[in-house]
Structure 1
Amino acid sequence: MAEVVGVRFKNVGKVYYFDPDGNQLKKGDQVIVETSRGVECGEVAMENRTVSDEEIVQPLKKLIRIATADDLKRVEENHKKEKNAFQICLRKIAAHKLEMKLVDVEYTFDNSKILFYFTADGRVDFRELVKDLASVFRTRIELRQIGVRDEAKMLGGLGVCGRPFCCSTFLGGFQPVSIKMAKEQGLSLNPVKISGICGRLMCCLKYEQNSYSEMLRLVPPVNSIVMTPRGKGTVTEQDVLKGLVKVKLDTPSLEGDCQYHYSEIKVLKSGKASAVKQESELLEQLEKV
């Protein structure tokens, strides 16, 4: 067991453990620590606590100091220099005629390195660009290609729901999302309607998936043959979250299709096989879109 403090270097970024070195820190405190990239200024995201050795990536580095007024002034100056470096890099990219989109620029706290983040459709030979930038800034230069999801997380914005992007406000990392999730949740399978601004499937498809998966194990799929309190019939519709199904009875009812809770009926023959076949065909079609 070891006492640690969690430090984050980007908004909603990953939290890294450091040895507090006897300091009692609070959420929001600015601290100076040594990282693999050099000395950095970060924000305390997790106050002092004890964790097991298995959770710690060794070696556990110690806190250098709590950020001073001079440290915070340097951070502010770095942000100003990043804006200037962004414009310079844009001009250099144009001069070298490279097919890449510059997304962000980041100075390390001690100015030992400048990182340029960009997106591109494929691989980019930026060796000459790196040499050019190094001659201008006289420090180590690193160009890092990122994906469109990372770009959205860095830049932020408003989603189709009208709220700020989940990835830039509270999601620490990205989890796999699939069209199958949208199908199981009864959402539109039009890729345009279930994709975020980044062009990838919306992260929020993952939020309720566990609940849907659990209920789908209990609620009979469409086309299942079931026995109801009023006789045998075929499931025509599902309301997964409420656990309800509509059943077309073999013996016609004046009321039309009857609605039952899954606990009121008994499955005689599951329609899962035909549903899986239809799903496979549908997913194949969507992949071609």
Structure 2
Amino acid sequence: MAEVIGVRFKNVGKVYYFDPDGQKMELGQRVIVETARGIECGEVAMPNRQVSDTDIVKPLKKVIRAANEEDLAQVERNKQREKQAFSICENKIAVHKLDMKLVDVEYTFDNNKILFYFTADGRVDFRDLVKDLASVFRTRIELRQIGVRDEAKMLGGLGICGKPFCCSTFLGEFQPVSIKMAKEQGLSLNPTKISGTCGRLMCCLKYEQEAYEDLLRRTPKQGAFVSTPDGRGTVVEVNLLTGMLKVKIEKSDGAARLYNKDQVKIIRDAQIRVDHDEAAALKDLEDK
């Protein structure tokens, strides 16, 4: 076992483990630590606790110190510099006529590097832009291309549910979401109904997926051949949440009859598949 604290450097960002070096840290406290990018100021997202050695990558970097007033003032100065750097970079992008959209700017705590985050449809040759920015700021410059999901997380906003984006309020990391999930949950595969503001599949499709998978294991699927109290038939409609099925009986007038899943016995179950045309048409919704 090892004693660690969890530190986050961005709102709703990933939590990284550090060695508290004997110091007691409180939730929400600001601390100065050394990272791969240099000295950074982060917020304690997880106070001191013991974790298994298998859950950490050793050696852990130690906390340098709790942030003092001067450190917090430095953070605020950096935020002002970031606003200025954003405006300067946008102007330089226009001068170089680059097809890219600047999303955010971030100064490292020690001002040794400035990171510019941008989106673009494809690869962008920004070498001349980097040289131009380096001559203005006289420090290390890094341009980092991000996806539309990351852009939404950085900028925030309201989803179609009317609430702030999950990714910018509580989702530390993106979870994989697939078209098959939408189909298994009985949703319309209309892109406007299953995609978020970022234009990708809604993250919330993941939340209830385990429950739907459990229901699917215990419920005949659409197209299944089943035995009912009125004879054999084919399931033509399924309501997973209520467990009600519409079954077209073989030897009848062709009308579908309603049954509870417990009233039928599966003879041959069906499979839920996303066909090739659907997958091709909606492929972009799964991309990051």
% identical aligned pairs: 67
Q: Give, in whole Å, the separation in 1 of the partners of 2:173 and 2:98.
A: 30
Q: Give, in whole Å, the separation in 1 of the partners of 2:24 and 2:217.
A: 48
Report deviation, 1:281.
Answer: 4.8
Identify the residue that residue 93 of structure 2 maps to in structure 1. Answer: 93
Identify the residue that residue 47 of structure 1 maps to in structure 2. Answer: 47
| The 10-residue stretch of structure 1 (221-230 or 193-202) with the greater mean CA deviation from structure 2 | 221-230
Identify the residue that residue 195 of structure 1 maps to in structure 2. Answer: 195
Can you list the C-alpha shifts for 1:60-80, whole angstroms capped at 9, x where unaligned? 011111111111111011101
Q: Give, in whole Å, the separation in 2 of the partners of 1:258 and 1:24.
A: 66
CA contact (8 A) 2:225 2:234 kept: yes
> For 1:166, what is the secondary structure of its paired residue?
coil
| The 10-residue stretch of structure 1 (75-84 or 263-272) with the greater mean CA deviation from structure 2 | 263-272
Matches of residues 59-208 of structure 1 in structure 2 within 5 Å?
A: 59-208=59-208
Report deviation, 1:54.
Answer: 1.8
> For 1:168, what is the secondary structure of its paired residue?
coil
Q: Give, in whole Å, the separation in 2 of the partners of 1:271 and 1:130.
A: 56
Cα 1:81/1:284, change in 2 over 3 Å: closer
Report deviation, 1:214.
Answer: 1.6
TM-score by length of 1: 0.92
Q: Give, in whole Å, the separation in 1 of the partners of 2:85 and 2:65.
A: 28
Identify the residue that residue 283 of structure 1 maps to in structure 2. Answer: 278
Cα 1:171/1:92, change in 2 over 3 Å: same
TM-score by length of 2: 0.92
Can you list the C-alpha shifts for 1:124-168, whole angstroms capped at 9, x where unaligned? 111111111111111111111111111110000011111111111
**Match of 1:143, as an amino acid?**
L
Identify the residue that residue 30 of structure 1 maps to in structure 2. Answer: 30
Report deviation, 1:107.
Answer: 0.5
Q: Give, in whole Å, the separation in 1 of the partners of 2:134 and 2:92.
A: 12
Instruction: List runs of 5+ in structure 2 lacking aligned partners.
Output: none
Identify the residue that residue 5 of structure 1 maps to in structure 2. Answer: 5
Instruction: List runs of 5+ in structure 1 lacking aligned partners.
Output: none
Q: Give, in whole Å, the separation in 1 of the partners of 2:31 and 2:119.
A: 31
Report deviation, 1:97.
Answer: 1.1
CA contact (8 A) 2:195 2:201 kept: yes
CA contact (8 A) 1:219 1:244 kept: no
**Match of 2:66, as an amino acid?**
I
Identify the residue that residue 267 of structure 1 maps to in structure 2. Answer: 266
Report deviation, 1:188.
Answer: 1.4
Q: Give, in whole Å, the separation in 2 of the partners of 1:87 and 1:281.
A: 45
**Match of 1:115, as an amino acid?**
L
> For 2:218, what is the secondary structure of its paired residue?
coil
Identify the residue that residue 258 of structure 1 maps to in structure 2. Answer: 257
Report deviation, 1:251.
Answer: 5.0
CA contact (8 A) 2:179 2:282 kept: no
CA contact (8 A) 2:2 2:50 kept: yes
Q: Give, in whole Å, the separation in 1 of the partners of 2:223 and 2:198.
A: 37
Cα 1:76/1:285, change in 2 over 3 Å: closer
CA contact (8 A) 1:247 1:257 kept: yes
CA contact (8 A) 1:21 1:62 kept: yes
Number of residue pairs aligned between Structure 1 and Structure 2: 284
**Match of 2:261, as an amino acid?**
Y
Identify the residue that residue 229 of structure 2 maps to in structure 1. Answer: 229
